[in-house]
Amino acid sequence: MRYLHTMVRITDVDESLKFYCDLLGMREMRRVDNEKGRFTLIFLAAPEDRRRAAEDMAPMLELTYNWDPAEYPGGRNFGHLAYEVDDIYATCQRILDGGVTINRPPRDGRMAFIRCPDSISIELLQKGEALEPQEPWASMENTGEW
């Protein structure tokens, strides 16, 4: 498993970049605008992580800006931790066997979400290309929030 990023929801791109980049010295490494989902993802790296972020796309801070105005009460501005895994199905099975609910199953062979005992969301991403969809994951429904 490899740590990838932490996601934080933001409400003002300019103010957030001023804080993280101008004041903290982080640098924007990548930006994704998703018109269908109506959001922008901005990936930042700390000064001493820039080389690794450029080479391996980790570790980074993901700023998520939703185009439609929203308020994030109760810590909803903190999104999730993300880890890359060698085999998403084997990882999810081990977690499920350990008594943890898979909130967003890896139906696509690429991504799953779980929650730690303190309800922090953790995203699991398949290393490399997505695996072929397979049961029981392909037909498993979401459970709770993720």
d(CA 69, CA 11): 8
pLDDT of residue 139: 97
Domains of the chain: 2-75 (3.10.180.10), 86-139 (no CATH)
How far the first Cα of the chain sits from its last, in Å, is 20
Q: What is the mean pLDDT of each run of 10 residues along the chain (146 residues)?
A: 91 92 92 97 94 93 93 76 94 94 97 86 94 97 90
d(CA 137, CA 57): 27
Catalytic residue list: 123
d(CA 109, CA 48): 33
**pTM of the complete model:** 0.76
